Amino acid sequence: MTGFSSRVEQVSISGIREVFEAAGEDAINLGLGQPDFPTPEHASRAAVEAIESHETDPYTSNKGTRELREAIVDTYDREYGIGIDPGDVIATAGGSEALHLVLEAHVDVGEEVLFPDPGFVSYDALTRIAGGTPKPVPLREDLTLDPATVEEAITDDTAAFVVNSPANPTGAVQSEDDMREFARIADEHDVLCVSDEVYERIVFEGEHRSPLEFASTDNVVVVSACSKTYSMTGWRLGWVTGSNRRIERMLRVHQYVQACASAPAQYAAEAALSGPQDAVDEMVEAFERRRDVVLDGLEDAGLDVPTPQGAFYAMPEVPEGWCDEVIDRGVIVVPGDAFGEHGEGYARISYATGMDELKEALEIMADATRAVR
């Protein structure tokens, strides 16, 4: 009888979904990874127009339309002064597919992939699906990833390490010095650095830097997406960029599992990236105001919380039983151990929700903290 592959048997459904299922219908949801803003009007309109004129009927080229890839490389040039050839970009079904392509193309059975713990849930699962061995790496006290910890964890079997800044679930932003170190490690140890930059534009203090800027070999690949920056999670449009030889290997996977990213989403993404950016600025300002309110509220409740400098998450240290108590009182938060063993004793709070709900939730969290202390 046909069984299931051992790779897929090692992967379980994300712990985040269990939390949603346990919560009541009118719970305040601080568990979401989706900005609570609409996709910019000009992006949606571009997709509608492309659909109505039948431009989206056929497949696009496997890598995505030339115009979208030019809009992506223009963005790197405009935002960071990084020059990329449009031929070295693949448009994907969100950052998720991009991560999948990177690991499928670079990880052999039994090879190790290092990633932050707590970290985004896909790194572990996609490593297993690629036949690799997940190697979670603990974080510093401020919840950033220490390049020295990564360097110490590298063995002869290491295929790749993942850097994620700004980070899910911590909101931590890596410094320029760290990014230079990650690039050096990738160069010197000849291992691939996978830089997951899907929150790249949501930074409150300092600026986003990429290891791609600092590497002297082609050992850095960058994954990003329109999902968070333009509130387009449902459109499923991301990309991966790297050297041509790496892109050509990833294209072999993309060509057979996806053929091309959804054409309407490609038109929307091109307009989002090349049109006015005010919606992004407004969203980031709103997230920063909320971040401040969340930090104050959690600290007033007596919780320690490293100051998140980007994305839309905070990760306080919480007493035992805190998450259950908060969820029972009608606020959805995600227990830190859903993001790895070292997430235990923390909770992820997403502030991608309106200010009034956020304030109500903070009062409930303060009551819950008193109840479990």
- Positions in the binding site for ligand PLP (CB under 6 A): 33, 94-96, 120, 164, 168, 196, 198, 225, 227, 233, 238
Name residues whose C-beta falls within 8 Å of residue 359's C-beta, 6 or more positions apart in sequence: 293, 297
Q: State the pairing for strand pair 334-335/347-350.
A: antiparallel
Owner of token pair 């790749």? 160
Helix residue spans in 190-277 (DSSP H): 244-257, 263-274
- Smaller CB separation from ligand PLP, 144 or 369: 144
- Of 35, 38, 56, the closest CA to residue 47 belongs to 56
Q: Give least dist CB 54 to ligand PLP, A.
A: 27
Q: State the pairing for strand pair 220-225/238-241.
A: antiparallel
**φ, ψ for residue 25 (rounded to 5)?**
-65, -35
- Smaller CB separation from ligand PLP, 139 or 301: 139
Q: Give least dist CB 368 to ligand PLP, A.
A: 26
Q: Which residue is nearest to ligand PLP (CB)?
A: 94
Q: What residue type is 251 in one-letter code?
A: L
Q: Give least dist CB 367 to ligand PLP, A.
A: 29
For the record, the structure tokens of 69 come out as 């890839």
Q: What is the CA radius of gyration of the chain?
A: 20
- Smaller CB separation from ligand PLP, 94 or 336: 94
- Smaller CB separation from ligand PLP, 94 or 297: 94
Q: State the distance between the two ends of the chain, measured CA to CA, in whole angstroms.
A: 53
For the record, the structure tokens of 237 come out as 């449009």
Name residues whose C-beta falls within 8 Å of residue 17's C-beta, 6 or more positions apart in sequence: none
- Smaller CB separation from ligand PLP, 291 or 297: 291
- Smaller CB separation from ligand PLP, 127 or 168: 168
